Amino acid sequence: MKGPDRDTGWIMRRVTRRALFLGSLQLAVAGTLAWRMRNMQVDQTDQFRLLADENRINIRLIPPERGVIRDRNGTALALNEQNYRIVIVREDAGDVEEVLDRLTQLVELPERVIARTLEDTARHPPFVPITVVDRLSWRDISRVAANAPALPGVTHESALSRIYPAGPDFAHVIGYVGPVSETDLKRPDVPDPVLQIPDFQIGRIGAERHFEDTLRGTAGSRRVEVNAVGRVMRELDRRDGEPGSDVSLTIDADLQSYTQARMGPESAATVAMDVHTGDILASVSSPSFDPNLFVRGISSADYAALNDSRLRPMSNKTVQGTYPPGSCFKMVTALAALEAGEIDADERVFCPGHRDISGRRFHCWRRGGHGRVNLVSALSESCDIYFYELAERIGIDRLNAMAARFGFGERFELPMSSVAAGLNPTREWKRANRGEGWQIGDTINASIGQGFVLASPLQLAVMTARLASGRKIMPRLLKARDGVEAEVSTPDRLGISERWLGKVREGMDEANNHSRGTARSVRVVLDELRMAGKTGTSQVRNITPEERATGVLSSEDLPWERRNHALFVGYGPTAAPRVAVATIVEHGGSGAQAAAPIVRDVLLHALHGGMPPLDAYPEAQRNRIETQQEELARMISLRRGAAGG
């Protein structure tokens, strides 16, 4: 019976080997665990102590870098600057009020800042960083960093902030950025999580608002490890976002700044436009405001001063303001009559100083009248009676149709806020809005740009560009987006006879250059820069019969708000037009005295490519102009320095 004993021995030997193997394996595992425990308890004690102190991982959004807005030549009009700020996280800080009290011992914090911070921390989720104060110096940031252990939940950051280096010069075109509001967050079409970042800023008006999606970019993110007191221990990883795309406008920065300085403190607006492309070279509303105030947080006193001013610095008068165009509208009336065949350019009309129509007397601006005038002399001398005659012949329907071809009553699509359509009145409009039928007197008033007719300076510039080119010029403000040029197409012709356009241009030329022209005093004497234009004075009050009998009061004798608006439109050079300019000076009185000199200077700057040459002015005016130019150059330099500071 040897077989079973041998089998038993063999089995026992196998069991023993397995036991040894399993025992060795268990010993190895136990040894490894023991080594790991020692390593964790001794060698890595500091690291795991931090983890034991409720360390956690936070994910924080990184605001994208906003795109730059430039002028047509690459000059930066809106860009970003480095900014140091302090933020606080409520769930890390614990008692926010106590932490802020400690922070005030290191950095000056006004009461309104503390109150706003407490309000923001209560309003937002506890894990969201809230900006306490920004635009701090490196010295302030260093003090906060050195005292970090005593400031739970407080960290310092480096960020970018919007800045407008030209200050007020582009405020109405560029606009400004401001914090995201509760209204913005409630909009159903705003899913971008970056808007949830406290104090994140978006475009509020102007190009900043219109191109918001282009300029904003996309947010990045970073994962940070923070300890129990909210102090960031390390950054684990970072994913940079996409910066916003740059936008280039058609504006010429030098011309814009010059125009702003040239208008000075007047309540006025000027638009300069390329007559071939429709490029807006300058769009200036005066007085203006500093958009940097809104980025940094405008005070209640500063905002009240802007909002309450009778000169309305917050309003963009170039596109929002609508005014009776006055005699600047007479070219439209002339073309409507010429195209309808109701008058020949050489036919003369007698002007005795007034005209009786339907039992009412309508007066010419010149009390004694102009005598016999034709189309060219009527435009040159701005005879009202001539255009009353045309109005009786053509009626409001044909006048309205011609005005529409020159842009009146049209709202142009531009990246500006609240672009107005003005008013090109019709019979239907009056019936719907006034509950009355159209009267012949309404047509008479409309023929000289009074009555119900309203236009913005932009529309007057468009009209002038179309007159100069004979084409349906459309204004444009966007030159390029992210380096891609905006498409420019050749505008269609207006479909108006070149002969008739030539006659109107001749009348505008004589208005500036004929001895009896209403704008003779602001002529340009260099043939290569010669200007053609038209004066306009729009009434804001009715002149009573008693006043006409005893003498109409001059503007200087009236309160400012009752004085007439002064207008002027012009283009040049007359031989080959390149630029059109329109200006209105609110309550400026005479168009020839208040508005025409501004148009001449702006037009010369645009054509010359810099400060207007002195030899373009009549010799008797050159000493005065030279002094004026020196003052303007000094003013522009000071304003740029102040904005840059």
Residue-by-residue DSSP string for 51-98: HHTT-EEEEEEEPPPPPPEE-TTS-EEEEEEEEEEEEEEHHHHSSHHH
pLDDT (0 to 100) of residue 113: 83
Q: How crowded is the C-beta side of 411, counted as CA atoms within 13 Å? A: 8
Within-domain flag for 309: no
Q: Round to whole Å and give the CA distance between 449 and 538.
A: 8
Q: Which has the higher per-residue pLDDT, 316 or 100?
A: 316
Same-domain status, 194 and 321: no
Query: Domain range for residue 387?
Result: 253-302+315-478+490-644
Q: What CATH number did the domain enclosing 79 receive? A: 3.90.1310.10
Same-domain status, 245 and 275: no
Question: What are the tokens at 82?
Answer: 């480095």
Pairing of strands 56-62, 220-226: antiparallel
Q: Which has the higher per-residue pLDDT, 546 or 433?
A: 433
Within-domain flag for 503: yes
Same-domain status, 341 and 386: yes
Q: Round to whole Å and give the CA distance between 511 and 522.
A: 10
Number of domains in the chain: 2
Q: Round to whole Å and give the CA distance between 108 and 424.
A: 57
Q: How confident is the model at residue 552 (pLDDT cuts 50, 70, 90)?
A: low
Q: Round to whole Å and give the CA distance between 480 and 525.
A: 37
The mean pLDDT value of the chain amounts to 87
Within-domain flag for 555: yes
Within-domain flag for 261: yes
Smallest CA-to-CA distance from 566 within 539, 545, 584, 540 is with 584
Same-domain status, 394 and 415: yes
Assess whether 327 carries a catalytic annotation. yes
pLDDT (0 to 100) of residue 549: 55
Within-domain flag for 48: no
Same-domain status, 627 and 579: yes
Taking residues 481-499, what's their average pLDDT? 92
Same-domain status, 398 and 435: yes
- The b/e string for 371-387 (b: 16+ C-beta within 10 A; e otherwise) is eebbbbbbbbbbbbbbb
pLDDT (0 to 100) of residue 396: 97
Q: How confident is the model at residue 14 (pLDDT cuts 50, 70, 90)?
A: low
Within-domain flag for 213: yes
Q: Which has the higher per-residue pLDDT, 455 or 180?
A: 455
Within-domain flag for 29: no
Poorest-confidence range of 127-141, 207-221, 284-298, 509-523?
127-141
pLDDT (0 to 100) of residue 448: 96
Percent helix, strand and coil across the chain, each rounded to 5?
A: 45, 20, 35
- The b/e string for 337-365 (b: 16+ C-beta within 10 A; e otherwise) is bbbbebbebeeebebebbbebeeeebbbb
pLDDT (0 to 100) of residue 274: 98
pLDDT (0 to 100) of residue 54: 46
pLDDT tens digits for 33-78?
776 666 656 555 555 554 444 456 666 677 788 999 999 999 999 9
Same-domain status, 234 and 362: no
Same-domain status, 107 and 229: yes
pLDDT (0 to 100) of residue 123: 79
Last residue of a domain, one of 231, 249, 267: 249
Q: Which has the higher per-residue pLDDT, 15 or 385?
A: 385
Poorest-confidence range of 17-21, 363-367, 500-504, 580-584?
17-21
DSSP 43: I
pLDDT tens digits for 94-132?
888 888 888 888 888 888 888 888 888 887 778 777 888
Q: What is the pTM of this model?
A: 0.83
Kindly name the residue from 283, 327, 380, 382 that is annotated as catalytic: 327
Same-domain status, 130 and 264: no
pLDDT (0 to 100) of residue 179: 81
Taking residues 328-349, what's their average pLDDT? 96
pLDDT (0 to 100) of residue 1: 46
Last residue of a domain, one of 249, 274, 292: 249
Residue 433, φ and ψ in degrees, nearest 5: -105, -25
Smallest CA-to-CA distance from 617 within 544, 523, 533 is with 523
Same-domain status, 372 and 343: yes
DSSP 619: G
% residues pLDDT > 90 (the chain): 57
Taking residues 492-506, what's their average pLDDT? 96
pLDDT tens digits for 273-303?
999 999 999 999 999 999 998 887 787 888 8
Same-domain status, 612 and 507: yes
pLDDT (0 to 100) of residue 523: 96
Q: How confident is the model at residue 589 (pLDDT cuts 50, 70, 90)?
A: confident
Residue 387 has pLDDT above 80, yes or no: yes
Within-domain flag for 605: yes
Same-domain status, 173 and 89: yes
Smallest CA-to-CA distance from 581 within 174, 262, 266 is with 262
pLDDT tens digits for 597-638?
999 999 999 999 999 999 999 999 999 999 999 999 998 888
pLDDT tens digits for 221-280?
777 676 665 556 676 777 777 899 999 999 999 999 999 999 998 999 999 999 999 999
Smallest CA-to-CA distance from 533 within 445, 587, 602 is with 602
Q: Round to whole Å and give the CA distance between 175 and 117.
A: 27
Residue 9 has pLDDT above 90, yes or no: no
pLDDT (0 to 100) of residue 49: 52
Q: What CATH number did the domain enclosing 379 receive? A: 3.40.710.10
